[in-house]
Amino acid sequence: MSATQFGSQTDTAARAGGAAGGSGGSGGYGGFGVGAPPVTTVATPSLRAVLRRSSFWVIAFGCIVAVAVVAVLVSGGSNVAGRALAGDNPAPAGSMALVEVLRQQGVTVTLANSLAEVRDTVGNDSTVFLYDENGYLDGDQLTDLAGLAARIVVVAPDFLSLQALAPTVGFGGVSDAESLTANCAVPAANRAEELLPGGNTLSIPEAAEHPLVTGCFASSTDTFSLVQVEHDTTGAIVSLVPDARVFNNENVTGYGNAALALGLLGPSDSLIWYLPTLADLPRTGPPSLSEITPGWVSPALVLLALVAVAAAFWRGRRFGPLVAENLPVTVKASETMEGRARLYARSNARLRALDALRIGTVQRLARAVGLGRLAHLEDVIGSVAVITGSAPEGVRRVLVDEIPRSDAQLMALSDALQALEHATGRAVRAGAVPAAEVSASASREFVSPPAERMDP
Amino acid sequence: MTLTGRFVLLCALGVVPIVLFGPDLVAAAGVLALWLLLVLVLSGIDLALAASPRAVTVQRILPARVRLGESVTSELYLTNTGRRRLVAVVRDAWQPSAGAGRNRNRVVIPRGERRLVSLTLTPFRRGERRVEQVTVRSRGPLGLWNRQATLNAPGRIRVLPPFHARKHLPSRIARLKELDGRTSVMVRGQGTEFDSLREYVRGDDVRSIDWRATARRNDVMVRTWRPERDRRVVILLDTGRTAAARVNNEPRLDTAFEAALLLAALTSVAGDRVDFLAFDRRVRGRVQGASGAALLSQMVDSMALIDPELIEMDWAAVPGQVRGITSQHALIVVLTSIDAAGASTGLLSVLPQLTKRHTVLVASVLDPATVEAAATRGGRAEIYRAAAAERALLDVARVSAAIRQLGADVVTASPAQLPPALADRYIALKAAGRL
């Protein structure tokens, strides 16, 4: 079917529909967009339009990222909060200055993080710089270390280090000397002449005169800021520097700190800069979950997470926009009646409720006995009493006099009202129509709510 | 752009090579990366090869109107003006109450060709149902990704009131014809006017034998009577807040529509002129001067768009509106609700103005639930409920009495019964010659 043909057909259909739209049937046809093929506009913006519209945000985001990258690069990727005395830390607490100077002097400095790395790189004539700030190494590891290197410089030794490397040396407290001068036979100390005052010291007990122990930079007779010991078993020379500040970037240039550091660390071509880490802790307990799971588990989990995201997009993508609709108000007409009933019940308005029931009953009775809607109450009572053959006092009691004191009485009176209505209805039927016709008309009589209510 | 279940499945299948070829973490991660790359490459190819849904032009053919409860077919012609074959799923964005069903149609359109997508609509709400857009989701050859675009293709369809009450029409027309003298059983009422003479047939009322004509023709002749014709009937519909209440899950307004339609159909058959006015504070719908089939068609058309307004009916303006429609004596049928005396003061205050010139008939829906509640006396709660129902019925009776006292007539009935009851009352008034 060509477009023109199609258009003309629908035009006739529309005309025919206009004429036949007669009794509100569904015959009429009103074409929308019939005739020549219209240009259909697209509501969804194209990718290019989206990009153009959001270009400001894209550029803004790009600028923010660029600024962030530049900022990181300018700050040199500095590990400002890096580890103290780390060889690659340019912060004041680091030791990058010292390491770089040593490298410029031709010393091969290797940064090590675990004893295994030290063991891999150590040579016959290596010097090991050890600063175990957190006390990761235990005694055995320290003893091993002493056996590995020819020279060990221990900075700020703790109790275990002293036990393992220099059992005769103890702690000496904080130095209170104004200045620290070398005064000893260690060449590096002599070249340094003076040291940063005020740090921790180590003590050499006078009683234990040990030939292999040398103390320098004395604060008092038995406390020193540098103690050099020859290890008992391995013969390694262990230099103990209790004050870590001597080596850091901030203080290394003051006094003779640099001379001492270079002298202690620079005698050989190979220096191992060893700061112990968690990797040095001995492994205990059962194997962790990651050790016993196969290697493919993590990638599979990543893939399944991606699948979940993809499935969310698959199911969640809506099929075009929704069309809004105004909904009509819906109120049940009987709400006011229900509300009034609840009010009666909550306030125990028995008499008021009963009054409503009584008035309704009286009106129905009046109609049943053939009196008008406006009949006097006494006439209704009299007629009903006569027709049902009961005492007028009883009828009056039910219809007017008795006041309910409790819910039980209210229910009894309500039942009495209904009984009276039924009795009247029966009596009227029995009296009005012959007995043979009562059964025939019974079904009509019992049609309970009248479909159409018209007042008589 | 949207992705498909097949794409998700393809992604998930990557678990197999990862488990098979990835014994350790690094190898498995490598396999994962390769798989993702493969999936992305395939998706890119699929997306690049999918036909563009933007190249589709839409033509829509809609029936202008449909009666509530009936079904119509909406036709949507899609032309593929692009360069590739379009395999797509199409959704027509109808309002929910247009009853468009699931509304997902698969189409395959070769380049340059046109296909029909027809959709069966079964609206379940009266009024104007709109459609705004057509969404086309074009599938790639691999079925991994779709291209989706929403095309503007507005349209609307008018859903008319159902007029269920037309089932009562034949019986009422039969009774009207009895009045009219066109059946052999003649009913002679007060105020009917003389029509013609015809020969006596058995069953005719002997009292209507015209003896003078019988003597002239030498055959027994009877007079036939017909009711008055060309009277005016004005149907006034209250679309204020009380029309929004639902009785038997049907708004009062819809019941009033049914009653008005039945009455209008009957009235136009009876030869009277009908004017229709839906009013609250302004005119919501008006049909004047129409007759025959056009009358009902115009009435349902204007009714289709009327919804109850949550404002108070302006009764004071009603006499003016009626004056604007007719200055002659007319039957004014007011379709409103009679609730409590307080809510009906507006109606009661203007009734004297109306009844002075016109015959007024007030029709109202009575809630069958109220009648039922008044007769149910089970326990304590039910007795209080019965008392409240009885009180509500008394209120209705009092207002009805007041309306009668002002010279108008009242019809109240349950929603299903109101239209025939109103029609019967109209026939009774016509028979009584009170129009």
pLDDT tens-digit readout, A304-320: 999 999 999 999 988 98
Pair A258, A195 in one domain? yes
Asked if residue A89 is part of any domain, the answer here is no
Pair A124, A171 in one domain? yes
Distance CA A421, CA A419 (A): 5
| The amino acid at B350 | V
Q: What is the domain range of residue A369?
A: 349-445
For A182-230, the pLDDT digits (tens) are 778 788 888 888 888 888 888 887 655 566 788 888 888 778 888 888 8
Q: Which residues of A touch B310 (CB under 8 A)?
A: 329
Give, for B383, the enclosing helix (H) or strand (E): helix B380-405
Sign of the CA dihedral running A192, A198, A202, A204:
positive
Q: For A59-121, give the DSSP string.
A: HHHHHHHHHHHHHHHHTTT--TT--TT-TT--STTS-HHHHHHHHHTT-EEEEESSHHHHHHH
For A111-158, the pLDDT digits (tens) are 888 888 888 888 878 888 888 888 888 888 888 888 888 888 888 888
Record the tokens describing residue B144, joined without a space. 């991994």
pTM of the predicted protein model: 0.66
Cβ–Cβ pairs < 8 A, chains A and B: 305
Q: Which of A306, A319, A347 to mutate to test the interface with B (most CBs of B within 10 A)?
A: A319
**Whether A319 contacts chain B with CB within 8 A:** yes
Q: Which domains does chain B carry?
A: 2-49 (no CATH), 53-160 (2.60.40.10), 195-226 (no CATH), 232-431 (3.40.50.410)
The rounded Cα A112 to chain-centroid distance in angstroms is 39
Q: Are A127 and A102 in contact (CB under 8 A)?
A: no
Pair A246, A372 in one domain? no
A194-195 and A180-181 beta bridge pairing: antiparallel
B14 to chain A nearest CA, in Å?
7
Q: Of B219, B185, B181, which Cα lies nearest the Cα of B199?
A: B219
The rounded Cα B62 to chain-centroid distance in angstroms is 18
Q: Of B220, B226, B180, which Cα lies nearest the Cα of B198?
A: B220
Distance CA B61, CA A303 (A): 48
Q: Are B301 and B230 in contact (CB under 8 A)?
A: no
Pair A140, A252 in one domain? yes
Q: What's the confidence (pLDDT) of residue A3? A: 37
Q: What's the confidence (pLDDT) of residue A257? A: 85
For A5-34, the pLDDT digits (tens) are 333 333 333 333 333 333 333 333 334 444
Pair A59, A130 in one domain? no
Pair A156, A271 in one domain? yes
Asked if residue A307 is part of any domain, the answer here is no
Distance CA B389, CA B297 (A): 39
Of B4, B93, B96, the CB nearest to A314: B4
Q: Which residues of B touch A12 (CB under 8 A)?
A: none
Of B65, B89, B387, the CB nearest to A353: B387
Portion of chain A with pLDDT greater than 90, in percent: 20
Question: A296 and B151 in contact by Cβ < 8 A?
Answer: no
Of A6, A300, A452, the CB nearest to B18: A300
Asked if residue A285 is part of any domain, the answer here is no
Q: What's the confidence (pLDDT) of residue B37? A: 95
B197 to chain A nearest CA, in Å?
35
Of A43, A329, A454, the CB nearest to B310: A329
Pair A371, A420 in one domain? yes
CB atoms under 10 Å from CB of A131, counted, come to 21
Pair A377, A390 in one domain? yes
Which one of A249, A279, A309 terminates a domain? A279
Pair A64, A106 in one domain? no
SS3 content of chain A, % helix, strand, coil (to 5): 45, 15, 40
Pair A124, A72 in one domain? no
- Range list of H helices, A2-45: 3-20
Q: What's the confidence (pLDDT) of residue A123? A: 80
Asked if residue A380 is part of any domain, the answer here is yes
Q: What is the CA radius of gyration of chain B?
A: 33
| The amino acid at B98 | A
For A345-374, the pLDDT digits (tens) are 999 999 999 999 999 999 999 988 888 777
Residue numbers of chain B with a pLDDT score lower than 70: 180-194, 225-227
What mean pLDDT is reported for chain A? 79
For A431-454, the pLDDT digits (tens) are 754 333 333 333 333 333 443 434
Q: Following CA atoms B58, B59, B63, B68 in sequence, which dihedral angle do they give, to the nearest 10 degrees?
A: 0
Pair A264, A396 in one domain? no
The rounded Cα B162 to chain-centroid distance in angstroms is 5
Distances (CA, A) of A5 to A1, A11, A12, B61, B252: 7, 10, 11, 14, 47
The rounded Cα A223 to chain-centroid distance in angstroms is 56
Using left for φ > 0, alpha for ψ between -120 and 50, and beta otherwise, residue B281 falls in alpha
Pair A372, A237 in one domain? no
- Range list of H helices, A156-209: 159-165, 187-192
Q: Are A411 and A419 in contact (CB under 8 A)?
A: no
Distance CA A159, CA A304 (A): 51
Using left for φ > 0, alpha for ψ between -120 and 50, and beta otherwise, residue A293 falls in beta
Cα angle B294, B297, B302 (rounded to 5 degrees) comes to 120
- Residues 6+ away with beta carbon under 8 Å from B403: B338, B347, B348, B351, B362, B409, B410
Residue written as token pair 């005739």: A35
Distance CA A83, CA B129 (A): 72
The domain tally of chain A equals 4
Residue range A70-96: mean pLDDT, rounded: 77
Q: Are A272 and A236 in contact (CB under 8 A)?
A: no
